[in-house]
Amino acid sequence: GAVVSQHPSWVICKSGTSVKIECRSLDFQATTMFWYRQFPKQSLMLMATSNEGSKATYEQGVEKDKFLINHASLTLSTLTVTSAHPEDSSFYICSARGGTSGGARADTQYFGPGTRLTVL
Amino acid sequence: AQTVTQSQPEMSVQEAETVTLSCTYDTSESDYYLFWYKQPPSRQMILVIRQEAYKQQNATENRFSVNFQKAAKSFSLKISDSQLGDAAMYFCAYRSANHAGNMLTFGGGTRLMVKP
């Protein structure tokens, strides 16, 4: 139990285009999901907290108009990188917090496999 | 704000031996959770072990155990009988039990190499 998927696993796009990354909790409901960015050989940097049915909470320094987050259901959150530029190239990881249903332990975050974004 | 520090950027261990990874944290809260996550080359973050601060007993998961010293704000991870598959980045993480967002604060990570 407690599986989180991300799609796509790797995307290459041209500068100026928008890219959508999906994060799904497969066997549990997640009222809260998190989006992280990870640079090579560095730790995870929290970008935003996504709550089902409400606006995401962004960390300081993260542009909300640049990184659009939608948490439309209890099992799906999406991150859209708008007008991507080469400096947006990175590894993006989502996580979902377990709740009272499914196989996830309460108050533990379960991570997706990540999405490698390369902007040419 | 809480901070998590992993003072060992890299560690190595001989296969079948035991290794301990260090983690210290700073918080003014009394109720919180601590985690160790493993990130292998695939970059999938895997939960290794978790500890509730209100529990005095150290958490264990098979070959993985922690030494939780609440007063010292220390949370080290011991890996016994190390295996080649244990080679990975290990991240220590803190989560408040009271914060509404329940976000994780990560340490900088420790790269563990396992020598055959």
**pLDDT per residue rounded down to tens, chain A (120 residues):** 789 999 999 999 999 999 999 999 998 888 889 999 999 889 999 999 998 888 899 999 999 999 999 988 889 999 999 999 999 999 999 999 887 666 777 778 999 999 999 999
Strands B10-14 and B110-115, bridge-based pairing? parallel
DSSP string, A76-94: EEEEEE-S--GGG-EEEEE
Contact state of B37 with A111 under an 8 Å Cβ cutoff: yes
Query: In the prediction, which pLDDT does A108 show?
Result: 86
Query: In the prediction, which pLDDT does A25 show?
Result: 92
Amino acid identity of residue B106, one-letter, is: F
Is residue B8 within 8 angstroms of chain A, CB to CB? Answer: no
Cα A36 to its chain centre, rounded Å, is 6
- Mean pLDDT across B91-107: 85
Which residue has tokens 């150290």? Answer: B58
Closest chain A residue by Cα to residue B96 = A107
Query: In the prediction, which pLDDT does A2 show?
Result: 86
- A46 to chain B: which residues are within 8 Å by CB? 103-104
- Of A91-105, B52-66, B91-105, which one has max mean pLDDT? B52-66
Distances (CA, A) of A22 to A31, A63, A85, A103, B40: 15, 19, 20, 21, 22
Q: Is the pLDDT of residue B98 over 80?
A: no
Contact state of B45 with A93 under an 8 Å Cβ cutoff: yes
Is residue B2 within 8 angstroms of chain A, CB to CB? Answer: no
Contact state of A109 with B104 under an 8 Å Cβ cutoff: yes
Is residue B32 within 8 angstroms of chain A, CB to CB? Answer: no
**CA atoms of A12 and A117, how far apart (whole Å):** 6
From A42, A91, A95, residue closest to B43, measured CB to CB:
A91
Cα B100 to its chain centre, rounded Å, is 23
The H helix count followed by the E strand count for chain B is: 0, 12
Task: Name the B residues in 87-106 with CB < 8 Å from any A CB.
Answer: 91, 95, 97, 101-104, 106
Share of chain B above pLDDT 70, in %: 97
What does the block give as tokens for B97?
A: 């039990």
Our CA-based measurement puts residue B58 at a distance from the nearest CA of chain A, in whole angstroms, of 18
Q: pLDDT tens-digit profile of B67-92?
A: 999 999 999 999 999 999 999 999 99
Query: In the prediction, which pLDDT does B103 show?
Result: 86
Q: Is the pLDDT of residue B102 over 80?
A: no
Our CA-based measurement puts residue A91 at a distance from the nearest CA of chain B, in whole angstroms, of 9
Query: In the prediction, which pLDDT does A100 show?
Result: 65
